[in-house]
């Protein structure tokens, strides 16, 4: 049997992003039980209907990766109580139908959401906005559990790397629950 494919979508383009590090820890937790890949999408242009058809190569590549995935796991920062514009831009591209016959690639796709921030909200407010958007797009959202991690600075080691001491068990639980959610 083929392994379940989880595609991690990180809402930060920053190299040392805490959300990217969180995704990599989730990958470690799931280990060889799944095929876990981080979506790279820096090269996606800003949505502009003048260049929508034919789709730019970067958009076609990303759509293909999403289509092949059994589930999408979002790891999003919070920018001004919202999720970052780069993530909205990506989702806008993915939300467009490929052709008259084929719906957009997010339709019915299982989704989990986690996030870590410097502030107290732990990305919870951004996540609520993201849920509104991806529910509108008919994704199959796992609302419980979601993971919100505040005060990122408290879970770093002396080199500034995320250790996730206190939040690790919650990420472990979310990972296991998402596997069940996908295979339900
Ligand atoms: C932030 N940050 C932030 N943090 C928070 O808890 N609530 C917020 O509303 C915001 N707003 C915000 C706006 C903008 C434009 C930036 C750049 C940052 C801080 C944010 O949590 C911090 O930069 C994280 O490190 C971003 O996530 P990554 O890049 O580490 O994954």
2-28, pLDDT tens digit by residue? 999 999 999 999 999 999 999 999 999
Q: How far apart are the C-alpha atoms of 181 and 159, rounded to whole Å? A: 35
Give me the tens of pLDDT residue by residue for the chain, a chain 184 residues long.
Answer: 799 999 999 999 999 999 999 999 999 999 999 999 999 999 999 999 999 999 999 999 999 999 999 999 999 999 999 999 999 999 999 999 887 788 899 999 999 999 999 999 999 999 999 999 999 999 999 999 999 999 999 999 999 999 998 999 999 999 999 999 999 8
Q: Indicate whether residue 117 lines ligand 1 (CB < 6 A).
A: yes
Q: How far is the CA of 117 from the centre of ligand 1 (A)?
A: 6
User: In terms of residue numbers, what domain contains 14?
Assistant: 4-183
CA pair distance 15, 66, nearest whole angstrom: 22
Closest C-alpha residue for ligand 1 atom 9: 80
57 CA distance to ligand 1 middle (Å): 30
> Residue 82: CB within 6 Å of ligand 1?
no
Strand segments, DSSP code E, in 66-139 are 71-75, 110-116
- Which of 74, 118, 123, 129 has most ligand 1 atoms within 8 Å of CB, for mutation? 118
Strand, coil or helix: 29: helix
Radius of gyration of the chain (CA): 16
Nearest CA to ligand 1 atom 14: 79
CA of 82 to the centre of ligand 1 (A): 10
Domain total for the chain? Answer: 1
**Residue 126 belongs to a domain with what CATH number?**
3.40.50.360
- Side-chain half-sphere of 126: how many Cα atoms within 13 Å? 30
Q: In which element (H, E) is residue 141 found?
A: strand 140-141
Q: Which of 23, 77, 84 to mutate to test the pocket of ligand 1 (most atoms within 8 A of CB)?
A: 77
């Amino acid at each position: 049997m083929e392994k379940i494919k989880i595609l991690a979508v990180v809402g930060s383009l920053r190299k040392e992003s805490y959300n990217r590090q969180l995704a990599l820890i989730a990958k470690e937790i799931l280990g060889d039980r799944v095929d876990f890949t981080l979506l790279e999408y820096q090269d996606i242009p800003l949505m502009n209907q003048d260049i929508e058809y034919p789709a730019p190569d970067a958009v076609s590549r990303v759509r293909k990766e999403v289509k092949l995935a059994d589930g999408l796991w979002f790891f999003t920062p919070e920018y001004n109580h919202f999720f970052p514009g780069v993530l909205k831009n990506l989702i806008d591209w993915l939300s467009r139908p490929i052709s008259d016959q084929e719906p957009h690639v997010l339709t019915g796709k299982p989704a989990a959401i986690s996030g870590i921030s410097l502030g107290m909200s732990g990305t919870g407010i951004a996540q609520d906005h993201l849920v509104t958007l991806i529910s509108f797009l008919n994704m199959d959202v796992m609302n419980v559990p979601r993971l919100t991690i505040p005060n990122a600075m408290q879970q770093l080691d002396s080199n500034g790397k995320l250790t996730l001491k206190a939040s690790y068990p919650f990420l472990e639980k979310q990972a296991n629950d998402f596997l069940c959610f996908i295979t339900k």
